[in-house]
Each structure stands twice: as structure tokens, then as C-alpha cells.
Amino acid sequence: DSGIFSSFFRRRKPIGEVRDVLHRELNDQCREIFSRFRSIDSIIEGATDGSEESSRRRALYSKTLDEILRGDGKPTVSPRTAVADHLIFKGVDDGADRLEGAGYAPSVRPSVLPRAGAGLFVSGKAVAGSILAYLPGICFLNEHLRGEGGLDRFRDDPDHQLSLRRDGHVLDCRGCGAPDRSVVCNPWALGQYANHPSVKSPRPDRPDGPNCFAVPMDYMSGPEGCLDNGDGGDGDHALRQYIPNKYYSKPAAVLGMNVDLLSGRRVEMRGMVLLATRDVQDEEVYYDYRLPTSAPEAWPDWYTPVPLDSSVSLHDSL
């Protein structure tokens, strides 16, 4: 099973149907990922809560940290973060706590590209169609772009961390560093570290060419939404803390704007995720920045346009 793309590219579907299926599958994936985050956070929090389970969980915490130190040496993040990330990746099977691991996880390391600085990497194997990382930051809806400041606020973007959704909403990742796991947050909100592919290898069919693309993510509550806890209510509030975005200001109360009238799902937040276009295993993550073709003179010297392919065509329609 190669994920979402196996069904999309092998069967010709109307783009509206593709969009609906994609949003549903993204919410299914997101619910699973967020639930895994919550389970691991609960285990680690339970190691110090004084409950009957705390001693067993403290032992699990210590055992995991020792395993990390033996395997990778001193972690570059806090011990709590290192243990949480390790358990999310590998899973847990310890007495009452049993949770299957994701089998892959994103992390930030020095890029293999010259002068690129940090880069986004995947450890383990993520099949095509998997969410590799979330893009954090502030979401500017269309209504915000018409207000005071308008588009002028987006003129300064030297690191190319502004993303435009197909529906016209803008996601601003400027100033977003790695997640601070000392507070509850999404540890996979690292998409802003993904680089454009090498000048030498811009083609998607090259190993060091693009292996993902950014797609809109509508975080839904209600039936089948990523925040749905299965009880038919508005969703699990404990999962909302993992949404790595916020609106620039509260959206206007426009009837139907944030509600899918057919499914009953409600859009709690609009963001973007990096979605694998092929199997990605133990490698750096690249996606096409798609800088404006109308002003090639403004392109940085490291930028080479990526030739159009089927994944880009799908991107244009979402």
C-alpha cells in the first residue's frame, strides 16, 4: 500500500472527489497522529503524578533514556523531548501501556545541501501519502488580507516561509523555531525546515529531488474530523492542543464558512502539511518552493524550478 497517491494516480477521479477524499484521509491520519502524541504525553506526565502507575512509568522513562544515550549519545534536545519522540517513533509495550509506534518521525539536522543551514529529515520509513510534518505559524484568511496592512506585511520573507493555499489563505511560518516540548505542542511541527531541492537535482524522479509537497490541511471537528473522539460530539479538546496554528484574528461569523454542510464537520483551523509523494526512508525532505515565475530575476542563486509532474498538477487543484 503506497498510501493516498496509489488510489489517486491509478484511477481517474473528478478533482472535487479527490479533494474530498484527501481531506478525509488527512483528517484520519491526523487523528491517529494526534492521539499518539496525547498517549505518549500522558505516559510521561504520569511518571511524576504520584499515582500507582507512576513508578512503572518512571522506570519506562529511565529505560528509554538509557537506550537513547547508548544509541545516539547525548541528545541535542531535552531528555523529556528525546524520550517522547523516541516513544512516538518506536511505540510502547510496557504493562498497561501499549501503543504501536509511527515507524517514522521528522527531525531537524544540518542539511546536506551547501549553504542551506538546517534541514528536515525523516528517520524510519514513511509510505507515499503519509504526513511527514506540519507547517506551524499564523493563518491569515482572505478577510485578514483585505484589512489594515494588507499584503504589505508579507514583503519581508528572505527565508521563503510564507505559504499560499489554493483557497487564498496565507500561512506565515516566519519566526517559528523548533517546538518547545516543555509546553504541550505538536512535535512534528517542523515543516518550515524543509528545503528546496538541489540545483543539480530538481527533478521529482531523482533521489535528492522533491519527495513531498505542501497541501492544505483543514483541521475538522465533528464526524470523522481529526478532533473526533468517537462520541459524536465536537471532538476531543485534548487533541486541539496539537494544532500548530492560530488565526491572525478571530474569523468573521459567516454562515457556512467554517462548516461542511454535507458532512457536518467544522473547520477549527486551516493550515498545511507536508505529504510524501513517494516512500521516504532515512533521508532529507525536500519540496518545491514554487517561487513566482513572473519574477525570475528575484530568485536566489540556489533556486532552480522543478519541472511540472503529476504531483504538482494535483497540488494546483487542492
Here the cell at position 141 is: 484568511
d(CA 307, CA 36): 37
Residue 234 has pLDDT above 70, yes or no: no
Of residues 104 and 94, more confidently modeled? 104
pLDDT bucket at 57, cuts 50 / 70 / 90: confident
Q: What is the pLDDT of residues 257-267, one digit of tens each?
A: 566 555 556 88
| Residue 13 burial by Cβ neighbours in a 10 Å radius (0-12, 13-18, 19+) | middle
Of residues 143 and 254, more confidently modeled? 143
Q: Please tell me whether the overall predicted TM-score, pTM, comes out greater than 0.95 for this model.
A: no
Residue 10's pLDDT is 45
Here the cell at position 237 is: 479538546
Q: Count CB atoms within 10 A of the CB of residue 146.
A: 9
- Report the alpha-carbon angle 39-40-46, nearest 5: 90
d(CA 164, CA 172): 9
Name residue 287's amino acid: Y
Closest CA to 251 of 273, 270, 237: 270
Residue 177 has pLDDT above 50, yes or no: yes
Of residues 89 and 234, more confidently modeled? 89
Q: Phi/psi of residue 66, each to 5°?
A: -60, -40
**Range in 26-35, 130-139, 214-223 the model is least confident about:** 214-223
- Report the alpha-carbon angle 105-192-187, nearest 5: 40
What percentage of the chain carries pLDDT values higher than 90? 25
d(CA 16, CA 277): 20
Here the cell at position 220 is: 475538522
